[in-house]
Structure 1
Amino acid sequence: MKKSILFIAAMVFSTTFVAAQEFVYFGVKGGVNFSTFSGDGFSDFKDESARTGYHLGLLAEVPVSDRFSVQPEVLYSAQGFDLVRREDNNDVEHQLDYITVPVMAKFYVFDGLALEAGPQFGFVVEEAIDFGSTEIERYDNNRNDFDLSLGLGASYKFNKFFLYGRYNAGMTDIYDVEGVEAKNSVIQAGVGLLF
């Protein structure tokens, strides 16, 4: 699994580097996640709410023209969701942490402001269920290790810094369970620095 993640990351970065060696910009980014799930089938729970987490990683921006760029990234992203039990109202937090590889197409509306869209490939690297003061590591055969999402967002670049916001809509189910549809739904906001 870890070899697959490293291979994908290396391929994305090496391909963009070779394709536009003179024009590629590298950078770092990080910020906050507000993640939950969309779907149905969890009849024992209600009032799903966002898990507040973080994301942190590396990126490369490859200008294709004056107004269009491709931006591959490799991020560690703390995701998951909160659920409230109906019978006793105890908060349950399902922590699902991913290595994500977004590949965003960026269209610059005007100098500095860009709209972004593209696929994101995610690989589960850590999982836990937190029942208040009790945390259980979980390795569930019914949970999918791979996640495909569609990212939509915007960024504003000034000098070497940029601010961004993005919504990642899950396209694949988190669980492989009949009658349960649960997909990742993540809002991200943060700041980055280009070198």
Structure 2
Amino acid sequence: MKKLLLVAVLAVMGISANAQELRFGPKAGYSMSTLKYKDNSGSASTDPLHTFYVGGLVEYKISDKFGVQGEILYSQLGGKITESVEDEDGFFKIQNKMTFGTLMVPVSAKYFITEGLSVSAGASFGYILSAKSKTVGDLGLGGIVPGLEIGGSDESDIKDQTNKLNIAPFVGAEYMLENGLFFDARYNMGISNLAKDPMDGEKTTNSFLQIGVGFKFGGN
């Protein structure tokens, strides 16, 4: 009986110790996303799309120096292209914006330089829930009729033309205060081809920078 009680006490102590290494909480922040197009004739990148992300995380600290982290995030990713021509008679500007509503599951290994400062490496596995392309045209006739502008927009659903999986390896860093508040930054390099039916070596990838803030519950 005494042996059984001792085993039970040690098991409870082990569970408590493990629980102290588990942290979880919300996070949100800023995303800067770009698309890169490549085919047999060359490559080009879009202007950045500035959006946000929101979600939550679970972190398990294996030792004083190493840990693992999993997250679930949602973000609007993509990129935009703007072309404009201006002369003494007026201007013409057209902008195309591609937006991918993406549910992401980032998984990373972490190394703790100090108790609060860590670096990480891993991969984000994204599933594209929606894909849209919006083109806006603006014809300014300021030189002919001051103040008069002719404009229009066109939005189309391109989900059927887009692969749903967006895998992006990443590296990042995080600093956490003693109260659980943390700040992090991460660069994700897209490697998946988002073009569903590529021709002539066509490849479209999505890379993005994330800067965020969050709070972790649990731990010591």
Range into which the TM-score falls when normalised by the shorter chain: 0.7 to 0.9
Q: What does residue 73 of structure 2 align with? A: 75
- Scaled by the length of structure 1, what TM-score is found? 0.81
Distance in 2, Cα, partners of 1:67 & 1:189: 23
2:38–2:44 Cα contact (<8 Å) kept: no
The partner residue of 2:113 within 109, 115, 131 is 109
Show CA shifts across 1:118-170 (max 9, x none).
01110011222222363524144331011111011101011211000000111
- Scaled by the length of structure 2, what TM-score is found? 0.72
Amino acid at match of 1:171: I
2:121–2:171 Cα contact (<8 Å) kept: yes
Amino acid at match of 2:162: R
Q: Relative to structure 2, which stretch is displaced further, 178-187 or 20-29? A: 20-29
2:123–2:167 Cα contact (<8 Å) kept: yes
Q: 1:100 to 1:135 in 2, by over 3 A?
A: farther
- Aligned residue for 1:141, secondary structure, equals helix
Q: What does residue 142 of structure 1 align with? A: 161
Calculate the aligned-residue CA RMSD, in Å. 2.3
Matches within 5 A, 1:29-178: 29-41=27-39, 48-85=46-83, 89-132=93-136, 134=153, 136-159=155-178, 160-176=180-196, 177-178=198-199
How far did 1:39 drift? 4.1
Amino acid at match of 1:180: E
2:37–2:45 Cα contact (<8 Å) kept: no
Higher Cα radius of gyration: 2
1:46–1:86 Cα contact (<8 Å) kept: no
How far did 1:48 drift? 1.7
Q: Which aligned runs of 4 or more in structure 1 are off by greater than 6 angstroms?
A: none
Show structure 2 runs of 5+ residues with no match: 1-17, 86-91, 137-151
State percent identity of aligned pairs. 27
The partner residue of 2:208 within 171, 175, 186 is 186
Distance in 2, Cα, partners of 1:46 & 1:115: 31
Count of residues in correspondence between the two structures: 175
Matched, 1:26 2:24: yes
2:173–2:185 Cα contact (<8 Å) kept: yes
Show structure 1 runs of 5+ residues with no match: 1-19
1:46–1:85 Cα contact (<8 Å) kept: no
Q: What does residue 16 of structure 1 align with? A: none
Distance in 2, Cα, partners of 1:187 & 1:28: 19
Q: 1:42 to 1:28 in 2, by over 3 A?
A: farther
- Aligned residue for 2:64, secondary structure, equals coil
2:125–2:165 Cα contact (<8 Å) kept: yes
